[in-house]
Homo-oligomer: A and B are copies of this chain.
Amino acid sequence: MTRSASEHAKNRETEFVEQLKDLLRIPSISTLTTHKSYIERAAEWLRDHCLAIGMTRAEIYPTPGHPIVYAEWLGAGKAAPTLLVYGHYDVQPVDGVWNQEDPFEPVERGGNLYARGATDDKGQLFVHLKAFDAIMKATGSFPMNFKVMFEGEEEIASVHLNAFIEKHLDMLTADVVVISDNHIQGIDDPSIIYGLRGLTYMEIEVTGPDHDLHSGAYGGAVHNPALALVQILHRMHDEQGHILVPGFYDEVVPLTDEERKALSAVPFTEAMLKAQTGADKLWGEPEFTARERIGARPTLEINGIWGGWTGEGQKTIIPAKATAKVSCRLVANQNPKRIYELVKAYVARITPDTVRSEVRLLSTGDSALVPLDSEAMQVAVEAYEAVFGKKPTFMREGGSIPVVATYNRLMKAPVVMMGFGLPDDNLHAPNEKITLKMFHRGIQTMIHFYQNLPKHFGK
């Protein structure tokens, strides 16, 4: 049976790519209000496609923001396990210089398909629909109950997703959740992410004088808020990169020896990191490897800073205020709101009495750690190995997918993150692409996964 669905998919590769191109042609940029109609068109396209490939129900659920597409095929019966696929059909804007005239007119070149959304996340969510399509067409049925939920607000912080999940918990209920919205280490180096960092995003503002002052008339007598901000931010790290906010590390779950070993097996070198970033030299807590620091250690980053005169030339002022955007990437079991409270208290304590400071919370997202020993994880490992010819390594990812924590919390179903992107896919950047070999390998991997998962469930 596996062979049959797999061969069916291989025979239809060209057709699948053409279908993906249709989806990529819809400029569903979620952050631009001018693109609202495209968001709706992409949702309709997905609803129609789900029905076309044999799912029995497909609906568009409006939210106060962009709609959520939900579709299902429940023909496996109550005894069979149920699987939920999460993906998002919204994309990033297209600023920057592309090698093609229109980032929404997909271009095939050198085995890659270039378009905004090719890997993030239209190409990856489509892998699941095509695996379902191939199995249904090849076998006339699907080995378990299948649900998909595609949101249109992932690129704008999934603002309405949690409320939707809480409201429709029964409808969404599943035994396993699969997300494909990330990358593996290399085209022949599969890897599975089991940890995601959480996030606490803040704004720190320092104010002093009630208006910008002439630096000649007052310089030397008044504390410059930009300097005071510098002094406050400086006290957030020691020179080696350890975070100095008291209590910051208290709830961090330490890496086990097993995890450190698994992470060290990831084909990930400092040279690769330097090439990807352009940095001359790496930086950070010396007692951890770079790979460990990115996935398993929390951070506190200045994402933005501004104050005073930032235009051409010169203006001799002492600015009335200076501000920084500061965010912490968090790991299990750090609580994002508690981290905010700790930073707020620390900033209040270290702010000199010559200025005033305020720490505002902009958003939070929970970190997530999924168990390595679930049945679904074992099946995922086998599926990658069968298709890529190599066992996947386990990674903790530096980024955040807050919905993973939501699933963990609300559904108690194991989440498996099975990515089919590559590190050089240029997501959120010009010339985003998906490597077609990865797209097809993804479909094969998911066919393997779907056809083997039910054997591991006693239901």
A: residues with CB less than 8 A from B are: 157, 197, 199, 201, 208-211, 213-224, 226-227, 229-231, 233-234, 237, 239, 241, 273, 276-285, 290, 293-294, 297-299, 301-310, 313-320, 322-325, 327, 329, 352-356, 362-363, 397-400, 428-429
Contact = CB atoms under 8 A, between A and B. Distances in A.
Contact of A315 (B303, B307, B309): B303
B303 A308 contact: yes
A303 B280 contact: no
Given A211-B278, A220-B285, A301 B318 contact: yes
A213 B308 contact: no
A354 B282 contact: yes
A239 B297 CA distance: 31
A260 B355 CA distance: 28
Given A316-B201, A316-B327, A327-B316, A279 B223 contact: yes
B304 A221 contact: no
A308 B154 CA distance: 22
Given A231-B234, A277-B213, A279-B208, A304 B299 contact: no
Nearest to A429: B211
A140 B219 CA distance: 47
- Copies of this chain present in the complex amount to 2
Interface centre among A216, A308, A325, A429 (most CB of B within 10 A): A216
Contacts of A278: 208-211, 320
A24 to B, nearest CB: 22
Contact of A221 (B283, B319, B429): B283
Given A211-B278, A221-B282, A306-B306, 12 more contacts: A208-B278, A213-B277, A217-B399, A220-B285, A221-B283, A221-B293, A230-B305, A231-B234, A280-B353, A305-B306, A305-B308, A316-B400
Given A220-B293, A282-B221, A303-B314, A215 B329 contact: yes
Contacts of A322: 302, 305
Contacts of A298: 220
